[in-house]
Structure 1
Amino acid sequence: MQNLDSAVLATALPAMARDLHEDPYRLGAAITSYLVALTVFIPFSAWIADRFGAKRVFMFAILTFVASSVLCGRAQGLGELVAFRVLQGLGGAMMVPVGRLLLLRGVAKKDMLSAMAWLTMPALLGPVTGPPLGGVLTDLWSWRAVFWINVPIGLIGFALVAWKIPHVPPTRPGPPDVVGLALTGTALALVMFGIETVGRHVVPGWVSVLALAAGILAGWLAVRHCQRVPQPALDLSLFRIATFRDPAVAGSLFRTGAGAVPFLIPVMLQIGFGMSASQSGFVSFATALGAFAMKPLVRPLLRRTGFRGALVINGVVASFGIAALALVTPAWPAAAIFALLAAGGLARSLQFTALNTLAFADVPAERMSRATALYGTLQQLTPALGVVLATTTLETCLALSGRSALVAADFSWGFVVAAVVVLASIPLHARLAPDAGAEVSGHNR
């Protein structure tokens, strides 16, 4: 449900912009507000799951997500939509990290790679079906219908959780690090608000600059605080584990660049190429189809190359795949665009699975909940940065050209900038040990 929501929304953005009388790139706030809310609330998820029981928290999260989806479908302006998306992010923040925590606590390391692949394959049904479904719903009814689709899915999911997931008793995790959580949430929210509004005339310029400065200061204070207390909100000592540090740091660069692509593709196809929402959806779902096809191949590939080899070689391939999208023009046949998107989906899927598995390969069981909270925070922050990267690039192209409307060439620069950011992660991956995560990948065993 969560992945479907993100996929259908990207396809519906141009229609939302027309209905709400907003510029398409400003509607990126509907995506980033949700992702920022995820990022802010995820650090709470580990403590809340331990304190109240993972199953109970999971069920509450589903109901919150469904209720806020209904509110999003009734929004009458960008401000209302952003507010309801923040509430939706609160529900989403408790779903994926808690589910992953349940999985990682019960799986042996030798089975972790297969387990992570099985976890993500059903979730990929969202991105696979999302773009065409979002296009059809938007064209036949309204963009509001892309939020209403969460209601039946959420209610079925709630019933299945109540029926199938065994009860997980709460524990006594001790008092939460309230100061650390407050500083971390404040820093993330202020920095993302500053980045999202700077130069866009949404608020006065000094407000954006002040938010950025205050966010950086709060972030510095949060790091200092988390390094000093015994049970911090974010366990920064996890960065001493090389196999966690690389997916967290280098992986953040990759996810930022790759996170720009799902935003750029549907907007380019509709605004730049003149496709309808349905046409755009059926073409852009090729990316998720390629990602889905890669999942069964991940284990044999990683067993052959190891994590370092896969992340370095495939990272280069993924970067060139994103850069190749800059060559696409309205003259290209839809089948050629579909094939290029599917190939890019293959490469990015392998990179995501390798990063998400390697991150937990050497984390001790007793620190797993803190690892899922910290990694989940970074995992949700970076796609938001990717959308900001894309919208900022498009706005810069408009400002430099003097035009008032986007053209197809503007999106080419968006893909080039995203590819450069992805490529910047490769030297960091190359610093991994050749046998990094070998117990999980089976490489050289």
Structure 2
Amino acid sequence: MIDKSHRSKALLVAGCFFMEMLDGTIVTTAAPQMARSLHVSSAAIGLIITSFLLTFAALIPLSGWLTRRWGTRPVFLAAIAVFTLASLGCALSTTLPVLVAMRVVQGFGGAMMVPVGRLIVLAGAEKSDLMRLMAYVVWPGLMAPVVAPLAGGLITTYASWPWMFGINIPLGVVAFAVAWRVVEATPTERPPRLDRLGVVLTCAGLGGLTYAGHLFSEQNISWAAAITTALVSLALLTAAVRHLLRAEAPLVNLRVLRIPTLRASVSGGSLFWIVVGAGPFLMPLLFQNVFGWSSVKSGAVVLFIFVGNIGIKPATTPLLNRFGFRPVLIAATLAMAAAMATAGLLTAATPIILTCAVVLISGIARSVAMTAFSTVSFSDVAPEQMPDANSIAATAFQMSAGLAIAVSTIALRAGGPLGHLLPGTPDARTAYTVAFLILTLFSLCVTGTALRMHPDAGARVRRIRTAAPAAPANEAS
């Protein structure tokens, strides 16, 4: 059984994760209202989203070094305080430059808050408790992208856009108070000097790649700028990898990726995070732009993703304990592939119950797979390797979540020319069919990663019921 202290920490980090993920996606709904209020174009509002995601993704690798230097408790408390105060600054902003600056500060707090919080949950936890603890942490983050459009719509309809940031203030105060009470101080160490070259290369590469994703997702895309930014960012990340593998005291020790379960989780889980973020983005667009549904009807159907997430949660740990990580991941990723392929075939004439069933299955698959990936990633990681493994996993997953919208947008645009390769006459639905088929291929690639996992992967964190040993033959007689 998980002790009360670890459960409280897991729920605390889950709440922070939800608040952080919600804050990264809720702004989209309020873009028109914010543009009018700040006297700028709607396109400029994209900076509010990008500045947060860029800072967040770029600074996550620093979390491991900071916790070694200052300890998890002070860094976590400071991160919650910075995020909450920056949320207040966002709510009080009256000009775009001030709001973007506050979002950068908010991204800095977020980059430390959840990665360090997850490290607190992992520290001292028994391997056999890891699965249930990670289940607590993961599902609020999966829920936020589904709830964000509805929450943003309600806030902008019945209040005003500053309240999207204002709701973080009481949540942050409560989180700080709980963290002050349940998070214990840990011994600090004297880490090597900060790897400044590693910081520059890694942060610039991750930030640039996030910005490239923003450029690719713009309505009037500048292909030259987007492609150039992406190529430069990839070059910086390549240089960063070479440096981190050669440095005596790197910012992040990439050698931990030699652990097969961590490597499989980072590669497969990152690709799956793109599908997880792209599905809730494409489905409302399909329902409203092609089917002609109202935003309320569309939002209600998409909420079945949330129903699937919550409904399967009590069964996730028993499934993993009973069947193991490899079979469950194969089944979950295949189910997601089937759901994405079926979503591309939906029409306005499809019975609503069937549409809801497809959305529900996608919610179940995403919850099971991400809980499995998040748990198995740390199953074979030694305590001294945990800060590096946590930084790598957090960075990879956050980058994928941030790039999901860009991938969705590119897939939709590819649906125009590629749609002519499909049977029948192309129409408004064809682009979405192609986009969902691309997500299907992504899911199948993740299935391939799961198939390559060892059958006993994650055995250390499973609680396997074994039958009582039979009595020796001479005793049985």
Does 2:453 correspond to 1:435?
A: no
- Give the TM-score taking structure 1 as reference length: 0.87
Give distance in 2, aligned partners of 1:130 and 1:203.
25
Which of 373, 376, 379 is equivalent to 2:394?
Answer: 376
Identify the residue that residue 415 of structure 1 maps to in structure 2: 436
Amino acid at match of 1:179: L
Identify the residue that residue 114 of structure 1 maps to in structure 2: 132
Give distance in 2, aligned partners of 1:380 and 1:173.
25
Amino acid at match of 2:18: N
* Deviation of the 1:41 alpha carbon: 0.8
Identify the residue that residue 325 of structure 2 maps to in structure 1: 307
Ranked by relative contact order (alpha carbons within 8 Å, sequence separation 6 or more), the top structure is 1
Identify the residue that residue 212 of structure 1 maps to in structure 2: 230
Amino acid at match of 1:291: N
Identify the residue that residue 298 of structure 1 maps to in structure 2: 316
Q: What pairs with 1:173-192 in structure 2 (closer than 5 Å)?
A: 173-192=191-210
Larger radius of gyration: 2
Amino acid at match of 1:295: K
Question: CA offsets, 1:124-147, max 9 Å, x none?
Answer: 675675554333223212344322
Q: Which moved more, 1:162-171 or 1:182-191?
A: 162-171
* Deviation of the 1:388 alpha carbon: 0.9
* Deviation of the 1:349 alpha carbon: 0.5
Identify the residue that residue 363 of structure 1 maps to in structure 2: 381
Question: CA offsets, 1:124-181, max 9 Å, x none?
Answer: 6756755543332232123443222111111121122223322334332232212112
Amino acid at match of 2:61: P
Amino acid at match of 1:313: A
Q: Secondary structure at the match of 1:371?
A: helix
User: Which ranges in structure 2 are unaligned for 5 or more consecutive residues?
Assistant: 1-15, 420-426, 467-477
* Deviation of the 1:314 alpha carbon: 1.7
- Give the TM-score taking structure 2 as reference length: 0.81
Q: What pairs with 1:9-408 in structure 2 (closer than 5 Å)?
A: 10=25, 13-17=28-32, 20=35, 31=49, 33-73=51-91, 84-120=102-138, 126=144, 130-198=148-216, 200=218, 205-274=223-292, 277-332=295-350, 336-397=354-415
Residues 127 and 461, structure 2, Cα contact 8 Å, conserved in 1: yes
Give distance in 1, aligned partners of 2:50 and 2:428.
23
Please, what is the CA RMSD of the aligned residues?
3.3
Q: Percent identity at matched positions?
A: 32
Give distance in 1, aligned partners of 2:221 and 2:300.
37
Give distance in 2, aligned partners of 1:374 and 1:262.
25
* Deviation of the 1:217 alpha carbon: 2.1
* Deviation of the 1:101 alpha carbon: 0.6
Give distance in 2, aligned partners of 1:293 and 1:333.
22
Question: CA offsets, 1:230-266, max 9 Å, x none?
Answer: 3211211112111111011122222222221232234
Give distance in 2, aligned partners of 1:351 and 1:89.
27
* Deviation of the 1:409 alpha carbon: 4.9
Q: What pairs with 1:3-14 in structure 2 (closer than 5 Å)?
A: 3-4=18-19, 6-7=21-22, 10=25, 13-14=28-29
Distance of aligned partners of 1:139 and 1:96 in 2 relative to their CA distance in 1, 3 Å threshold: same
User: Which ranges in structure 1 are unaligned for 5 or more consecutive residues?
Assistant: none
Identify the residue that residue 424 of structure 1 maps to in structure 2: 445
Question: CA offsets, 1:69-124, max 9 Å, x none?
Answer: 34444667877765543332211111111111111111111221122223345666
Amino acid at match of 1:349: S
